[in-house]
Structure 1
Amino acid sequence: MSYALQWTRSLIFTISAYVMMGVLGILYFPWAIFSRRGALAGCHAWCRWIRWSARWMVGLRTEVRGTPPTDEVVVAAKHQSFLDIILIFGAIPSGKFIMKRILMYAPVIGQYGLRIGCVPVNRGQRGKAIKKMVADVAKGRQHPGQLIIYPQGTRIAPGVKAPYKVGTGVLYEQLQQDCVPVAANVGVFWPKRGIYRKPGLAVVEFLPRIKAGLDKATFMAKLEDEIETASNRLMKEAGFEPDGMG
Protein backbone atom coordinates (compact mmCIF):
# COMPACT_ATOMS: atom_id res chain seq x y z
CA MET A 1 0.00 0.00 0.00
CA SER A 2 1.38 3.41 -0.95
CA TYR A 3 2.25 6.01 1.65
CA ALA A 4 -0.17 8.52 0.09
CA LEU A 5 -3.09 6.10 0.28
CA GLN A 6 -2.33 5.12 3.87
CA TRP A 7 -1.97 8.79 4.83
CA THR A 8 -5.37 9.54 3.29
CA ARG A 9 -6.95 6.65 5.16
CA SER A 10 -5.27 7.91 8.34
CA LEU A 11 -6.70 11.40 7.80
CA ILE A 12 -10.21 10.01 7.38
CA PHE A 13 -9.76 7.89 10.50
CA THR A 14 -8.55 10.89 12.53
CA ILE A 15 -11.48 13.04 11.44
CA SER A 16 -13.95 10.25 12.19
CA ALA A 17 -12.45 9.80 15.67
CA TYR A 18 -13.23 13.40 16.61
CA VAL A 19 -16.67 13.23 15.01
CA MET A 20 -17.53 10.11 17.00
CA MET A 21 -16.21 11.73 20.17
CA GLY A 22 -18.84 14.44 19.71
CA VAL A 23 -21.60 12.02 18.70
CA LEU A 24 -21.04 9.65 21.63
CA GLY A 25 -20.53 12.58 23.97
CA ILE A 26 -23.99 13.89 23.09
CA LEU A 27 -25.66 10.47 23.18
CA TYR A 28 -24.32 9.60 26.64
CA PHE A 29 -24.58 13.11 28.09
CA PRO A 30 -28.06 12.74 29.70
CA TRP A 31 -26.87 9.62 31.54
CA ALA A 32 -23.51 11.17 32.37
CA ILE A 33 -25.17 14.20 33.98
CA PHE A 34 -26.88 12.04 36.59
CA SER A 35 -24.38 9.21 36.98
CA ARG A 36 -20.64 8.75 36.87
CA ARG A 37 -21.38 5.32 35.42
CA GLY A 38 -22.87 7.06 32.41
CA ALA A 39 -19.73 9.11 31.86
CA LEU A 40 -17.52 6.02 32.16
CA ALA A 41 -19.80 4.11 29.77
CA GLY A 42 -19.56 6.89 27.20
CA CYS A 43 -15.76 7.03 27.43
CA HIS A 44 -15.46 3.25 27.19
CA ALA A 45 -17.77 3.21 24.18
CA TRP A 46 -15.52 5.68 22.38
CA CYS A 47 -12.43 3.61 23.23
CA ARG A 48 -14.09 0.52 21.77
CA TRP A 49 -15.06 2.41 18.64
CA ILE A 50 -11.49 3.65 18.12
CA ARG A 51 -10.09 0.11 18.38
CA TRP A 52 -12.74 -1.27 16.02
CA SER A 53 -12.46 1.49 13.42
CA ALA A 54 -8.63 1.57 13.48
CA ARG A 55 -8.57 -2.09 12.52
CA TRP A 56 -10.55 -1.75 9.29
CA MET A 57 -9.85 1.87 8.39
CA VAL A 58 -6.05 1.90 8.70
CA GLY A 59 -5.14 -1.73 9.37
CA LEU A 60 -4.07 -1.03 12.95
CA ARG A 61 -4.92 -3.90 15.27
CA THR A 62 -4.69 -3.47 19.03
CA GLU A 63 -4.08 -5.84 21.93
CA VAL A 64 -4.15 -5.51 25.71
CA ARG A 65 -1.96 -8.04 27.50
CA GLY A 66 -1.58 -8.90 31.16
CA THR A 67 -4.20 -8.39 33.85
CA PRO A 68 -5.79 -4.93 34.04
CA PRO A 69 -6.44 -3.96 37.67
CA THR A 70 -9.95 -3.54 39.03
CA ASP A 71 -9.07 -2.33 42.53
CA GLU A 72 -7.79 1.05 43.69
CA VAL A 73 -4.22 1.31 42.40
CA VAL A 74 -1.82 3.63 40.64
CA VAL A 75 -1.32 2.74 36.98
CA ALA A 76 2.08 4.02 35.82
CA ALA A 77 2.40 3.75 32.06
CA LYS A 78 4.73 4.26 29.15
CA HIS A 79 3.28 7.16 27.14
CA GLN A 80 4.05 7.23 23.43
CA SER A 81 0.85 8.53 21.85
CA PHE A 82 -2.85 9.08 22.41
CA LEU A 83 -3.45 5.41 21.60
CA ASP A 84 -1.96 4.15 24.87
CA ILE A 85 -4.43 6.38 26.74
CA ILE A 86 -7.30 4.78 24.82
CA LEU A 87 -6.12 1.21 25.35
CA ILE A 88 -5.31 1.59 29.04
CA PHE A 89 -8.45 3.51 29.96
CA GLY A 90 -10.63 1.15 27.94
CA ALA A 91 -9.22 -1.89 29.75
CA ILE A 92 -9.92 -0.78 33.33
CA PRO A 93 -13.28 -0.18 35.00
CA SER A 94 -12.78 3.19 36.66
CA GLY A 95 -9.78 5.04 35.29
CA LYS A 96 -9.01 8.69 36.01
CA PHE A 97 -6.17 11.06 35.24
CA ILE A 98 -4.40 14.07 36.64
CA MET A 99 -5.20 16.55 33.88
CA LYS A 100 -4.22 20.12 33.07
CA ARG A 101 -6.86 22.51 34.39
CA ILE A 102 -7.24 24.14 30.97
CA LEU A 103 -8.69 20.85 29.64
CA MET A 104 -11.73 21.42 31.86
CA TYR A 105 -12.91 23.89 29.24
CA ALA A 106 -12.37 21.61 26.22
CA PRO A 107 -15.62 20.39 24.61
CA VAL A 108 -16.59 16.83 25.63
CA ILE A 109 -13.15 16.01 27.09
CA GLY A 110 -13.46 18.53 29.91
CA GLN A 111 -17.00 17.64 30.93
CA TYR A 112 -16.45 13.90 30.82
CA GLY A 113 -13.05 14.17 32.51
CA LEU A 114 -14.60 15.84 35.52
CA ARG A 115 -17.47 13.37 35.65
CA ILE A 116 -15.19 10.30 35.72
CA GLY A 117 -13.09 11.79 38.52
CA CYS A 118 -10.06 13.30 36.80
CA VAL A 119 -8.09 15.70 38.98
CA PRO A 120 -7.57 19.12 37.33
CA VAL A 121 -4.39 20.88 38.38
CA ASN A 122 -2.61 24.13 37.70
CA ARG A 123 1.06 24.01 36.79
CA GLY A 124 3.17 23.50 39.91
CA GLN A 125 0.23 22.46 42.15
CA ARG A 126 0.13 18.73 41.47
CA GLY A 127 1.11 17.76 45.02
CA LYS A 128 -1.68 19.85 46.52
CA ALA A 129 -4.23 18.30 44.15
CA ILE A 130 -3.11 14.76 45.05
CA LYS A 131 -3.45 15.42 48.79
CA LYS A 132 -6.99 16.72 48.23
CA MET A 133 -7.87 13.68 46.11
CA VAL A 134 -6.63 11.28 48.80
CA ALA A 135 -8.63 13.12 51.47
CA ASP A 136 -11.76 13.19 49.32
CA VAL A 137 -11.60 9.44 48.64
CA ALA A 138 -11.18 8.76 52.35
CA LYS A 139 -14.22 10.92 53.17
CA GLY A 140 -16.36 9.43 50.41
CA ARG A 141 -16.50 12.66 48.37
CA GLN A 142 -14.38 11.20 45.57
CA HIS A 143 -14.91 7.85 43.87
CA PRO A 144 -12.07 5.35 44.19
CA GLY A 145 -10.57 3.94 41.05
CA GLN A 146 -7.40 3.50 39.04
CA LEU A 147 -5.29 6.66 38.83
CA ILE A 148 -3.37 6.67 35.53
CA ILE A 149 -0.07 8.57 35.50
CA TYR A 150 2.87 8.88 33.13
CA PRO A 151 6.22 8.74 34.95
CA GLN A 152 8.10 10.51 32.13
CA GLY A 153 5.58 13.33 32.21
CA THR A 154 4.79 13.51 28.51
CA ARG A 155 4.65 11.49 25.29
CA ILE A 156 8.02 9.99 24.42
CA ALA A 157 8.66 8.77 20.88
CA PRO A 158 10.03 5.23 20.43
CA GLY A 159 13.81 5.11 20.78
CA VAL A 160 14.03 8.44 22.61
CA LYS A 161 15.51 8.44 26.11
CA ALA A 162 13.83 10.53 28.80
CA PRO A 163 14.15 10.49 32.60
CA TYR A 164 11.50 9.20 34.97
CA LYS A 165 10.33 12.06 37.17
CA VAL A 166 10.52 11.69 40.93
CA GLY A 167 6.95 12.97 41.28
CA THR A 168 5.71 9.46 40.52
CA GLY A 169 7.60 8.17 43.53
CA VAL A 170 6.16 10.92 45.70
CA LEU A 171 2.67 10.01 44.51
CA TYR A 172 3.30 6.32 45.24
CA GLU A 173 4.30 7.21 48.81
CA GLN A 174 1.38 9.59 49.34
CA LEU A 175 -1.32 7.23 48.11
CA GLN A 176 0.17 4.13 49.78
CA GLN A 177 -1.31 1.99 47.03
CA ASP A 178 0.07 -0.76 44.82
CA CYS A 179 1.39 0.38 41.46
CA VAL A 180 0.68 -1.45 38.19
CA PRO A 181 3.32 -0.65 35.52
CA VAL A 182 2.25 -0.65 31.87
CA ALA A 183 4.53 -1.11 28.86
CA ALA A 184 3.67 -0.12 25.29
CA ASN A 185 4.81 -0.12 21.68
CA VAL A 186 1.96 2.00 20.30
CA GLY A 187 4.21 4.86 19.21
CA VAL A 188 5.65 2.63 16.47
CA PHE A 189 2.24 2.75 14.75
CA TRP A 190 0.51 5.89 16.09
CA PRO A 191 3.09 8.69 16.50
CA LYS A 192 2.96 11.42 19.11
CA ARG A 193 2.36 13.97 16.32
CA GLY A 194 1.08 13.83 12.78
CA ILE A 195 -1.70 12.12 10.87
CA TYR A 196 -0.09 8.94 9.54
CA ARG A 197 -1.10 5.65 11.20
CA LYS A 198 0.98 2.59 10.38
CA PRO A 199 -0.67 -0.83 9.97
CA GLY A 200 0.34 -3.53 12.44
CA LEU A 201 -0.28 -4.73 15.99
CA ALA A 202 -0.12 -2.08 18.73
CA VAL A 203 0.17 -3.48 22.26
CA VAL A 204 -0.07 -2.26 25.82
CA GLU A 205 0.88 -4.75 28.52
CA PHE A 206 -0.11 -4.59 32.18
CA LEU A 207 2.89 -5.86 34.15
CA PRO A 208 2.96 -7.49 37.62
CA ARG A 209 2.11 -4.95 40.29
CA ILE A 210 4.65 -3.33 42.55
CA LYS A 211 3.38 -3.60 46.10
CA ALA A 212 2.98 -0.55 48.28
CA GLY A 213 5.58 0.13 50.94
CA LEU A 214 8.88 0.41 49.06
CA ASP A 215 11.07 3.42 49.64
CA LYS A 216 10.93 6.02 46.89
CA ALA A 217 14.35 5.33 45.36
CA THR A 218 13.82 1.56 45.22
CA PHE A 219 10.36 2.01 43.73
CA MET A 220 11.54 4.41 41.02
CA ALA A 221 14.43 2.15 39.98
CA LYS A 222 12.16 -0.89 39.80
CA LEU A 223 9.42 0.97 37.93
CA GLU A 224 11.75 2.33 35.25
CA ASP A 225 13.52 -0.98 34.75
CA GLU A 226 10.30 -2.95 34.36
CA ILE A 227 8.53 -0.49 32.04
CA GLU A 228 11.55 0.14 29.81
CA THR A 229 12.54 -3.51 29.56
CA ALA A 230 9.03 -4.61 28.63
CA SER A 231 8.46 -1.67 26.26
CA ASN A 232 11.72 -2.41 24.42
CA ARG A 233 10.62 -6.02 24.06
CA LEU A 234 7.26 -4.97 22.62
CA MET A 235 8.87 -2.48 20.22
CA LYS A 236 11.28 -5.12 18.95
CA GLU A 237 8.33 -7.43 18.46
CA ALA A 238 6.84 -4.70 16.26
CA GLY A 239 10.02 -4.50 14.19
CA PHE A 240 11.49 -1.42 15.87
CA GLU A 241 14.97 -1.56 17.42
CA PRO A 242 14.92 0.86 20.39
CA ASP A 243 18.54 0.16 21.37
CA GLY A 244 19.69 1.68 18.13
CA MET A 245 18.11 5.05 18.83
CA GLY A 246 18.33 7.98 21.27
Structure 2
Amino acid sequence: MAHAIQWLRSFLFIIVIYVWMAVLGVLFTPYAILSKRGALRACKIYARTTIQMARWMVGIRSEVRGPVPTGEVMIAAKHQSFLDILLIFDAVPNAKFIMKRELLWTPFIGLYAKRLGCVPVDRGKRGAAVAKMVQDVAQEFNDPGQLIIYPQGTRVAPTDMKPYKVGTGVLYKGLGQTCVPAATNVGLFWPRKGILRKPGLAVVEFLDPIAPGMDRNSFMQQLEQRVETRSADLMREAGFDPDGPY
Protein backbone atom coordinates (compact mmCIF):
# COMPACT_ATOMS: atom_id res chain seq x y z
CA MET A 1 0.00 0.00 0.00
CA ALA A 2 2.78 2.43 0.91
CA HIS A 3 4.52 1.68 -2.40
CA ALA A 4 1.32 2.37 -4.35
CA ILE A 5 0.79 5.68 -2.55
CA GLN A 6 4.39 6.75 -3.24
CA TRP A 7 3.98 5.81 -6.91
CA LEU A 8 0.81 7.90 -7.14
CA ARG A 9 2.50 10.85 -5.45
CA SER A 10 5.39 10.48 -7.90
CA PHE A 11 3.03 10.41 -10.87
CA LEU A 12 1.27 13.58 -9.72
CA PHE A 13 4.63 15.23 -9.07
CA ILE A 14 5.78 14.53 -12.63
CA ILE A 15 2.58 16.01 -14.05
CA VAL A 16 2.88 19.11 -11.86
CA ILE A 17 6.51 19.89 -12.69
CA TYR A 18 5.99 19.60 -16.44
CA VAL A 19 2.82 21.69 -16.38
CA TRP A 20 4.71 24.22 -14.25
CA MET A 21 7.54 24.22 -16.80
CA ALA A 22 5.07 25.02 -19.58
CA VAL A 23 3.39 27.78 -17.55
CA LEU A 24 6.67 29.49 -16.72
CA GLY A 25 7.89 28.98 -20.27
CA VAL A 26 4.89 30.81 -21.71
CA LEU A 27 4.83 33.57 -19.11
CA PHE A 28 8.52 34.41 -19.44
CA THR A 29 8.91 33.96 -23.22
CA PRO A 30 8.63 37.69 -24.10
CA TYR A 31 11.09 38.61 -21.34
CA ALA A 32 13.44 35.78 -22.34
CA ILE A 33 13.44 36.84 -25.99
CA LEU A 34 14.29 40.42 -25.06
CA SER A 35 16.86 39.67 -22.36
CA LYS A 36 19.07 36.84 -21.17
CA ARG A 37 18.19 38.00 -17.66
CA GLY A 38 14.58 37.00 -18.31
CA ALA A 39 15.60 33.49 -19.37
CA LEU A 40 17.87 33.12 -16.36
CA ARG A 41 15.17 34.36 -14.00
CA ALA A 42 12.58 31.90 -15.33
CA CYS A 43 14.97 28.95 -15.09
CA LYS A 44 16.06 29.90 -11.58
CA ILE A 45 12.43 30.06 -10.46
CA TYR A 46 11.72 26.69 -12.05
CA ALA A 47 14.75 25.00 -10.49
CA ARG A 48 14.10 26.38 -7.01
CA THR A 49 10.37 25.61 -6.96
CA THR A 50 10.79 22.12 -8.42
CA ILE A 51 13.38 21.29 -5.76
CA GLN A 52 10.91 22.50 -3.12
CA MET A 53 8.03 20.50 -4.65
CA ALA A 54 10.18 17.38 -4.68
CA ARG A 55 10.56 17.75 -0.92
CA TRP A 56 6.91 18.08 0.01
CA MET A 57 5.31 16.01 -2.76
CA VAL A 58 7.58 12.95 -2.84
CA GLY A 59 9.87 13.36 0.17
CA ILE A 60 13.15 14.09 -1.63
CA ARG A 61 15.19 16.44 0.51
CA SER A 62 18.25 17.95 -1.15
CA GLU A 63 21.58 19.38 -0.17
CA VAL A 64 24.45 21.06 -2.03
CA ARG A 65 27.83 20.59 -0.40
CA GLY A 66 31.25 22.10 -0.94
CA PRO A 67 32.24 25.60 -2.07
CA VAL A 68 29.87 26.70 -4.85
CA PRO A 69 31.81 27.82 -7.96
CA THR A 70 31.05 31.42 -8.89
CA GLY A 71 33.78 32.45 -11.34
CA GLU A 72 34.71 31.33 -14.84
CA VAL A 73 35.18 27.61 -14.32
CA MET A 74 34.26 24.32 -15.91
CA ILE A 75 32.14 22.02 -13.73
CA ALA A 76 32.51 18.34 -14.62
CA ALA A 77 29.59 16.63 -12.94
CA LYS A 78 28.26 13.15 -12.38
CA HIS A 79 24.87 12.95 -14.09
CA GLN A 80 22.23 10.58 -12.72
CA SER A 81 18.93 12.36 -13.32
CA PHE A 82 17.16 15.65 -13.95
CA LEU A 83 17.53 16.49 -10.26
CA ASP A 84 21.30 17.01 -10.40
CA ILE A 85 20.76 19.50 -13.24
CA LEU A 86 18.29 21.42 -11.08
CA LEU A 87 20.53 21.42 -8.00
CA ILE A 88 23.61 22.63 -9.85
CA PHE A 89 21.68 25.24 -11.82
CA ASP A 90 20.06 26.57 -8.66
CA ALA A 91 23.38 26.71 -6.81
CA VAL A 92 25.67 28.49 -9.28
CA PRO A 93 25.02 32.06 -10.46
CA ASN A 94 25.33 31.74 -14.24
CA ALA A 95 25.19 28.14 -15.48
CA LYS A 96 25.75 27.12 -19.09
CA PHE A 97 25.41 23.50 -20.12
CA ILE A 98 27.00 21.41 -22.82
CA MET A 99 23.86 19.84 -24.28
CA LYS A 100 22.68 17.53 -27.04
CA ARG A 101 21.91 19.51 -30.18
CA GLU A 102 18.49 17.86 -30.58
CA LEU A 103 17.33 19.49 -27.34
CA LEU A 104 17.32 22.83 -29.17
CA TRP A 105 14.11 21.67 -30.85
CA THR A 106 12.38 20.86 -27.56
CA PRO A 107 9.57 23.32 -26.70
CA PHE A 108 10.71 26.01 -24.23
CA ILE A 109 13.95 24.18 -23.40
CA GLY A 110 15.51 25.08 -26.74
CA LEU A 111 14.66 28.78 -26.49
CA TYR A 112 15.84 29.14 -22.93
CA ALA A 113 19.00 27.11 -23.54
CA LYS A 114 19.97 29.44 -26.38
CA ARG A 115 19.33 32.52 -24.28
CA LEU A 116 21.40 31.14 -21.39
CA GLY A 117 24.35 30.49 -23.69
CA CYS A 118 24.26 26.71 -23.53
CA VAL A 119 26.48 25.01 -26.11
CA PRO A 120 24.84 22.38 -28.37
CA VAL A 121 26.95 19.40 -29.44
CA ASP A 122 26.38 17.00 -32.30
CA ARG A 123 27.45 13.78 -30.64
CA GLY A 124 27.48 11.83 -33.90
CA LYS A 125 30.48 13.61 -35.43
CA ARG A 126 33.00 12.83 -32.70
CA GLY A 127 36.27 14.67 -33.49
CA ALA A 128 34.62 17.45 -35.47
CA ALA A 129 32.03 17.91 -32.73
CA VAL A 130 34.68 18.20 -30.03
CA ALA A 131 36.66 20.78 -32.02
CA LYS A 132 33.56 22.85 -32.66
CA MET A 133 32.56 22.55 -29.00
CA VAL A 134 35.84 24.13 -27.92
CA GLN A 135 35.35 26.96 -30.41
CA ASP A 136 31.73 27.56 -29.37
CA VAL A 137 32.54 27.47 -25.66
CA ALA A 138 35.38 29.95 -26.11
CA GLN A 139 32.94 32.33 -27.78
CA GLU A 140 30.36 31.92 -25.03
CA PHE A 141 32.93 32.79 -22.36
CA ASN A 142 32.84 36.35 -23.61
CA ASP A 143 29.89 36.32 -21.21
CA PRO A 144 31.36 34.86 -17.99
CA GLY A 145 29.69 31.88 -16.40
CA GLN A 146 30.03 28.36 -15.12
CA LEU A 147 30.23 25.76 -17.89
CA ILE A 148 28.67 22.44 -16.88
CA ILE A 149 29.69 19.31 -18.74
CA TYR A 150 28.79 15.70 -18.03
CA PRO A 151 31.94 13.66 -18.74
CA GLN A 152 30.01 10.43 -19.32
CA GLY A 153 27.79 12.21 -21.83
CA THR A 154 24.47 10.95 -20.49
CA ARG A 155 22.53 10.04 -17.35
CA VAL A 156 24.02 7.02 -15.64
CA ALA A 157 22.14 4.83 -13.15
CA PRO A 158 23.74 4.54 -9.69
CA THR A 159 25.18 1.06 -10.23
CA ASP A 160 26.11 1.46 -13.92
CA MET A 161 29.53 2.43 -15.19
CA LYS A 162 30.10 4.29 -18.44
CA PRO A 163 33.43 5.60 -19.73
CA TYR A 164 34.42 9.23 -19.36
CA LYS A 165 34.52 10.87 -22.79
CA VAL A 166 37.55 12.69 -24.14
CA GLY A 167 35.64 15.94 -24.81
CA THR A 168 35.95 16.99 -21.17
CA GLY A 169 39.73 16.69 -21.34
CA VAL A 170 39.84 18.56 -24.64
CA LEU A 171 37.85 21.41 -23.12
CA TYR A 172 40.05 21.47 -20.02
CA LYS A 173 43.17 21.86 -22.19
CA GLY A 174 41.57 24.16 -24.77
CA LEU A 175 40.07 26.63 -22.30
CA GLY A 176 42.91 26.55 -19.78
CA GLN A 177 40.44 26.96 -16.94
CA THR A 178 40.02 25.45 -13.50
CA CYS A 179 37.77 22.39 -13.40
CA VAL A 180 35.48 21.74 -10.44
CA PRO A 181 34.42 18.07 -10.20
CA ALA A 182 30.94 17.37 -8.81
CA ALA A 183 29.68 14.10 -7.32
CA THR A 184 26.11 13.05 -6.60
CA ASN A 185 23.76 10.33 -5.36
CA VAL A 186 20.49 11.78 -6.72
CA GLY A 187 19.75 8.78 -8.94
CA LEU A 188 18.92 6.74 -5.86
CA PHE A 189 15.84 8.89 -5.27
CA TRP A 190 15.01 10.44 -8.66
CA PRO A 191 15.98 7.79 -11.24
CA ARG A 192 16.85 8.53 -14.85
CA LYS A 193 13.87 6.43 -16.01
CA GLY A 194 10.49 5.45 -14.60
CA ILE A 195 7.91 7.20 -12.48
CA LEU A 196 8.65 6.23 -8.89
CA ARG A 197 10.50 8.83 -6.80
CA LYS A 198 11.90 7.63 -3.45
CA PRO A 199 12.19 9.70 -0.25
CA GLY A 200 15.66 10.50 1.03
CA LEU A 201 18.49 13.02 1.04
CA ALA A 202 19.75 13.76 -2.48
CA VAL A 203 23.19 15.38 -2.52
CA VAL A 204 25.31 17.19 -5.07
CA GLU A 205 28.81 17.90 -3.80
CA PHE A 206 31.34 20.24 -5.39
CA LEU A 207 34.82 18.79 -4.88
CA ASP A 208 38.22 20.45 -4.66
CA PRO A 209 39.07 22.15 -7.96
CA ILE A 210 41.60 20.81 -10.43
CA ALA A 211 43.94 23.59 -11.50
CA PRO A 212 44.73 24.11 -15.20
CA GLY A 213 47.97 22.81 -16.65
CA MET A 214 47.73 19.03 -16.30
CA ASP A 215 48.15 16.83 -19.34
CA ARG A 216 44.88 15.50 -20.69
CA ASN A 217 45.27 11.86 -19.70
CA SER A 218 46.31 12.67 -16.13
CA PHE A 219 43.43 15.10 -15.81
CA MET A 220 40.88 12.56 -17.04
CA GLN A 221 42.18 9.87 -14.69
CA GLN A 222 42.08 12.18 -11.68
CA LEU A 223 38.63 13.52 -12.59
CA GLU A 224 37.10 10.06 -12.96
CA GLN A 225 38.70 8.72 -9.80
CA ARG A 226 37.55 11.62 -7.66
CA VAL A 227 34.00 11.88 -9.01
CA GLU A 228 33.32 8.15 -8.97
CA THR A 229 34.86 7.61 -5.53
CA ARG A 230 32.93 10.45 -3.91
CA SER A 231 29.67 9.54 -5.65
CA ALA A 232 30.02 6.01 -4.28
CA ASP A 233 30.65 7.45 -0.81
CA LEU A 234 27.49 9.56 -1.06
CA MET A 235 25.47 6.51 -2.05
CA ARG A 236 26.83 4.54 0.90
CA GLU A 237 25.99 7.48 3.15
CA ALA A 238 22.40 7.16 1.94
CA GLY A 239 22.37 3.48 2.89
CA PHE A 240 22.93 1.97 -0.56
CA ASP A 241 25.73 -0.29 -1.73
CA PRO A 242 26.96 1.01 -5.12
CA ASP A 243 28.60 -2.35 -5.77
CA GLY A 244 25.45 -4.34 -5.07
CA PRO A 245 22.10 -4.75 -6.87
CA TYR A 246 19.78 -1.77 -7.20
The interval holding the TM-score normalised by the smaller chain is over 0.9
The letter for the 1-side match of 2:7 is W
Mapped contact 1:79–1:154 kept (Cα < 8 A) = yes
TM-aligned CA deviation for residue 183 of structure 1: 0.3
Q: Which residue of 1 aligns with 2:30?
A: 30
Mapped contact 2:74–2:147 kept (Cα < 8 A) = yes
**2:126 equivalent to 1:128:** no
Which blocks of at least 5 consecutive residues in structure 2 are unaligned? none
Mapped contact 2:119–2:137 kept (Cα < 8 A) = no
Q: Which residue of 2 aligns with 1:7?
A: 7
Q: Which residue of 2 aligns with 1:177?
A: 177
**What does the per-residue CA deviation read over 1:153-189, in whole Å, with 9 as the maximum and x for residues that have no partner?**
1111112122212221111111111000000000000
**What does the per-residue CA deviation read over 1:37-81, in whole Å, with 9 as the maximum and x for residues that have no partner?**
111111111000111111110111111111111111110001111
Residues 94-243 of structure 1 mapped to structure 2, 5 A cutoff? 94-122=94-122, 123-124=124-125, 125-137=128-140, 140=142, 143-243=143-243
Mapped contact 2:179–2:209 kept (Cα < 8 A) = yes
Mapped contact 2:138–2:175 kept (Cα < 8 A) = no
Distance in 2 (alpha carbons) for counterparts of 1:189 and 1:182: 18
**What does the per-residue CA deviation read over 1:173-208, in whole Å, with 9 as the maximum and x for residues that have no partner?**
111110000000000001110010000110000111
Mapped contact 1:160–1:245 kept (Cα < 8 A) = no
Distance in 2 (alpha carbons) for counterparts of 1:204 and 1:42: 22
How many corresponding residue pairs? 243
**What does the per-residue CA deviation read over 1:104-144, in whole Å, with 9 as the maximum and x for residues that have no partner?**
11111000000000112323243233233244246x4xx22
Aligned-CA RMSD value: 1.5
Q: Which residue of 1 aligns with 2:52?
A: 52
Mapped contact 1:185–1:204 kept (Cα < 8 A) = yes
User: 1:75 is paired with a residue of what secondary structure?
Assistant: strand
TM-aligned CA deviation for residue 245 of structure 1: 5.0
Moved more, 76-85 or 162-171: 162-171
TM-score, length of structure 2 as denominator length: 0.94
Displaced runs of 4+ in structure 1, greater than 4 A? none
Distance in 1 (alpha carbons) for counterparts of 2:196 and 2:66: 28
Mapped contact 1:74–1:178 kept (Cα < 8 A) = yes
TM-aligned CA deviation for residue 25 of structure 1: 1.4
Distance in 2 (alpha carbons) for counterparts of 1:240 and 1:190: 14
The letter for the 2-side match of 1:244 is G
Q: Which residue of 2 aligns with 1:83?
A: 83
The letter for the 2-side match of 1:119 is V
The letter for the 2-side match of 1:164 is Y
The letter for the 2-side match of 1:130 is M
The letter for the 2-side match of 1:48 is R
Mapped contact 2:67–2:206 kept (Cα < 8 A) = yes
Mapped contact 2:178–2:209 kept (Cα < 8 A) = yes
